[in-house]
Structure 1
Amino acid sequence: MKTMITKAVSVLMFVAILSSCKKNNKENVPENPGNFVLAVTPAAVTGVADYLVTASSLDEGKVSIIGNGVEQDGTYRYYVTSGSKFFSMLYGRGNPGAVTVYDVKDGKLNKLSDFTAATVHAFATVNKDILMVKVPRAYAATGPTLANWYIVSTESNRQTTEGTLDAVTPSQNGEIAHFSWIKQVGNKVFAPFFSIKNNGFETDYPDFAGIAVYAYPSMQYEKTIRDTRTSFIGRYFTDGLAVVENGDTYAFSSSVAQKGGVLTSTKPSSISRIKAGTTEFDLDYLINFETASAGNVITDWLYLGQNKFVVHMEPKASKGAYNVGKTLGILDVANQTVTKVTGFPIAADIVDVTANNYSPRDGRTGYVGVNLIDGTTWVYKIDASTATATKGLKVEGGLITAIQHLK
């Protein structure tokens, strides 16, 4: 699982940085009760299971996992928030993984239940469920090549339904349609994918974007939305779709399709659109992200509301299938503009930037975690109206891997 490997490497880098720092601050930081939940990986070579800590604000103050927090069971976790519930899911390396469900009471995490669910690589809330999908990376030796899907009820906190999908049909080119993510759009499930023909994620079709459309909850395949103006949507384990307030769906492409270890797409990193109530790309809308951002590609984003995003950017010259941008920008999909964020640490000073971040969806504010080479870890507040970043909550004891808020 690429993102999990990246996480482990980042931890080791961070450990080395901490070891080289002359100052070793072991100050005991008291608990910080609140409804914000942060997942933090300890800065230790062994025993790097995440800790979950709460915070009352992301704008200021300090939290620490030293003497605080709830240790998770297992090294690699992914997190889903649904209303007042926080689901901590173990990546079981192909085996079923433990899931722990929390809410917050009096500013502290309160465990509601434990259960076991399948290990997957794409998941999202759909209605009052969590839909999870596991797509193969290779063709079946015999018979159809199938993907497995599972539904977890956020009301009963249990896996309730499962089934299979034909993993080849959506690509319409004979390759496996490997989902980059899944998203509820209206009463449908959209599954953007990159078509692959082997475990190396290689493709003979680098210059097209595909989104498989499914009915819910039956997961009956309906059609594939296609576009040849961009490469595939999203990235491995990265959500490339966002639904805005009027129901329109926007999609980003990093243009990182590959074959033989070489990037092969001829299309620019782009933003495309599917209008509300339709299942076709809007051929009158396309942002050439490389042009709009003065030479960058988009690698991730956080929707802020009111057509605005915080985007992670990487220079086109150094783009790669798994390179994550360390420079931030503000993307306005209505005005079709990209503005670089000032006040955020420069890329050379950053170990990594958190991918699982938070916004109250007010059209202005986003919170992004950053782990710095000097050994410190912070939450930065992003103001889209001024395209500026300001240092907020300080996190001690490890790397931020997720920032969420519970109602």
Structure 2
Amino acid sequence: MLSFKYASKLALPVLSLCSALLFTSCDSNDDNPTPDADSSFVMSLAIQGSDGGFTYYTVPFSDLMTGPLTAKGQGIEQPGYYDFTQIDNTIYSIGGLDDVNVVGISKNESGELKQIGNVSFPNSLSDIIKADDNTLVGVEMASTSDVIKFHTFSANTVTVTATKQHLVSAITNLKAPSYSGMAISGNNLYLSYYISDPTTYATPHTDKAQIAVFSYPGLEFQKVIEDTRTGPIGGFNTKSGLTEDEKGDVYALSHSNPANGYSQVTNKPGILRIKNGETTFDQTYFFDVEQLTGGKTISHLKYLGNGKAFIEVNTAARNQQAAWTDGPLRSAIIDLNSKTLNYIDGLPEHAGSGRRLAALQDGKYVYMSVPEGNSIFVYRIDTETNSATKGAEVEANFVAGISKL
């Protein structure tokens, strides 16, 4: 399955000594340390075994700026393929490949990490988002299925409370719409997608942006909205196609990057907007990414608040990007309102991991991991000064998630 190959291909070379150390010590409870009461940071570390498969260790840390940061003797172990996203005080690990389950990770009263709930589906969930304080919404979109399934969850128990199913033909007469983003605003759920051949992963339809609109909470199909000012929304496995601001406005990121799963390019990259509760694109708004970046594109976007977003800019022109590389990337802060961009000083150009951006916002800081040669380091980014400070080295093949509980 491509998602596993992509993650494997983009992971750093195997750190054999580190991997052996982690696998040996994590299997033993004899030296499992008592978590520090101040261990509020949590990282999900991916370690590749000798068979080529990955195991993920979700581990608490008191500080990300001093290290090394290792999974030795602690953390929650999950072999397979997992995607991590934090919603409020719970980290949700979404399984893929053969482990199509969803598990919540939180803390008990003594500060130790614990697992809550465990639910499985016929296909892996593409994503989970927050609907309200008690409800989450997940979606199944598999290239082998002719249906799209929405599941609502109880946030506290990770149990399914309802399921709504739609035929793929409701949103497109083409095969294999691939998930790229989801947002809920007003009485609508917005689902962005692009078309990818289920066998070759080619993307022959790149001439417009398309978003399916469903009612919420009823999850009834309403319509598909389109815009030809840019191409499809989002990309393979980045899950950042749609983001919502405090006003309920939804922003849709389009890049059509070969480095993020596209086999061709048609329209210019840009960001579109849907105003709160509307079912049309706002024709008065267009964020011309190509003009602002000098012909470059945005690969990843994480909304920070007050119209600001942390982004990863692919510094190669789209006709020069190597397929499925998720790089080379340069970090920046954009303002969606003023349409301005400021690059981050002190952060090296780097490769991504071909998956959801592992970055944590903590006040004015953003923490993220950056590969440098055969090593990985945490960087703390000051979003007020647009500068970065190098932190601890991470003993892993790649970092799948950074959270704070």
TM-score by length of 2: 0.83
> How far is 1:296 from its partner?
1.4
Alpha-carbon distance change, 3 to 379 in structure 1, aligned in 2, over 3 angstroms: farther
**Match 1:124 to one of 126, 129, 144:** 129
After TM superposition, give the deviation of residue 63 of structure 1 in Å: 2.6
| Counterpart in the other structure of 1:312 | 312
Q: Secondary structure of the residue that 1:180 maps to in structure 2?
A: strand
Q: What does residue 107 of structure 2 align with?
A: 103
- Which 10-residue stretch deviates more, 331-340 or 149-158? 149-158
Partner residue, 2:293: 293
Paired letter, 1:242: T
**Correspondence for 1:84 among 80, 89, 93:** 89
Equivalence for 1:135: 141
Distance 2:75 2:400 in 1: 14
CA 1:181–1:204: 2 relative to 1, 3 Å: same
AA aligned opposite 2:71: I
Q: Provide the C-alpha distance between the structure 2 equivalents of 1:97 and 1:75, rounded to a whole number of angstroms.
A: 11
Match of 1:332 in 2: 335
> Which position in structure 1 is the counterpart of 2:28?
none
What is the Cα-based RMSD across aligned positions, in Å?
3.1
Q: Give the drift of 1:29.
A: 11
| CA–CA separation in structure 2 for the residues paired with 1:187 and 1:17 | 52
Which consecutive residues of structure 2, in runs of 5 or more, have no partner in the other structure?
Answer: 20-24, 26-30
Deviation of residue 192 (structure 1)?
0.6
Assess, with a 3 A threshold, how the Cα gap between structure 1 residues 199 and 130 changes in structure 2: closer, same or farther: farther
Structure 1 range deviating more: 155-164 or 324-333: 155-164
Kindly indicate whether the alpha-carbon contact (under 8 Å) linking 1:2 and 1:236 is maintained by their aligned counterparts in 2.
Answer: no
C-alpha distance in 2 between matches for 1:84 and 1:151: 18
- Whether 1:343 and 2:356 are equivalent positions in the alignment is no
Q: Distance in 2 between matches of 1:231 and 1:257?
A: 13
Quick check: 2:180–2:235 contact (8 Å CA) kept in 1? yes
Residues 351-370 of structure 1: matches in 2 within 5 Å?
Answer: 352=353, 355-360=357-362, 362=363, 364-370=364-370
How far the C-alpha of 1:175 sits from its partner, in A, is: 5.1
Show the counterpart of 1:112. 116
Which residue is equivalent to 2:22? none
Amino acid at match of 1:168: S
Return the letter of the residue paired with 2:139: V
- CA displacement at 1:51 relative to structure 2: 0.5
Specify the alignment match of 2:169 in structure 1. 168
* Cα distance in 2 between the residues matched to 1:50 and 1:157: 20
Structure 1, unaligned runs of 5 or more? 20-25
Q: Give CA-to-partner distance per residue, 1:215-261, whole Å, 9 cap, x none.
A: 23332101222111010111122221111122222111112489x98
Q: Is 1:66 aligned to residue 67 of structure 2?
A: no
Letter in 1 for 2:380: K
CA drift of 1:270 comes to 0.8
Contact 1:378/1:394 (CA < 8 Å) preserved in 2? yes
Secondary structure (helix, strand or coil) at the match of 1:50 reads strand
Shift of 1:352: 4.6
CA contact (8 A) 2:15 2:396 kept: no
Deviations 1:90-115 (A, max 9, x none): 2244x643635433544321233444
Deviation, 1:322, is 3.4
Residue 50 of structure 2 aligns to a residue whose secondary structure is coil
Q: CA deviation at 1:198?
A: 4.6
Shift of 1:275: 1.8
Change (3 A) 1:176 1:282: same
Displacement after TM superposition at 1:367 (Å): 1.6
> CA 1:29 to 1:13, structure 2 compared with 1: closer, same or farther past 3 Å?
farther
Judge conservation of contact 1:302–1:366 (CA < 8 Å) in 2.
Answer: no
Residue deviations 1:369-393 (CA, integer Å, cap 9, x gap): 12321x3322211222222221134
Q: Structure 1 residues 331 and 14 mapped into 2: Cα distance closer, same or farther (>3 Å)?
A: farther
Q: How far has the Cα of 1:357 moved from its partner?
A: 1.6
CA distance in 1, matches of 2:404, 2:343: 26
What does residue 48 of structure 1 align with? 54
In structure 2, the residue matched to 1:384 is 383
For the structure 1 residues 43 and 284, does the alpha-carbon distance in structure 2 shift closer, same or farther, using more than 3 Å as the test?
A: same
Q: Distance in 2 between matches of 1:175 and 1:163?
A: 20
Q: TM-score, normalised by structure 1?
A: 0.83
CA contact (8 A) 1:66 1:397 kept: no
Which aligned pairs between 1:235-250 and structure 2 lie closer than 5 A? Answer: 235-237=235-237, 238-250=239-251
Contact 1:193 1:232 in 2 (8 A): yes
| Cα distance in 2 for residues equivalent to 1:16 and 1:282 | 51
The answer (yes or no) to whether the contact 1:123–1:181 under 8 Å persists in 2 is: no
Q: What secondary structure, in the 3-state scheme, does the structure 2 residue paired with 1:13 have?
A: coil
Quick one: distance in 2 between partners of 1:203 and 1:129? 34
Counterpart-to-counterpart distance in 2, 1:102 and 1:196: 35
SS of equivalent residue, structure 1 residue 49: strand
Following superposition, the deviation at residue 152 of structure 1 comes to 2.5
Query: Percent of counterpart pairs with the same letter?
Result: 24
- The separation in 1 between residues aligned to 2:82 and 2:205, in whole angstroms, is 32
- Distance (Å, rounded) in 2 between the aligned partners of 1:217 and 1:321: 38
In structure 1, what is the Cα distance between the partners aligned to 2:65 and 2:275? 35
Could you report, residue by residue, the CA deviation over 1:29-48 in whole angstroms, capped at 9, with x for unpaired residues? 97655222110012543463
Question: Aligned AA for 2:320?
Answer: S
- Aligned pair count reads 384
Amino acid at match of 1:75: G
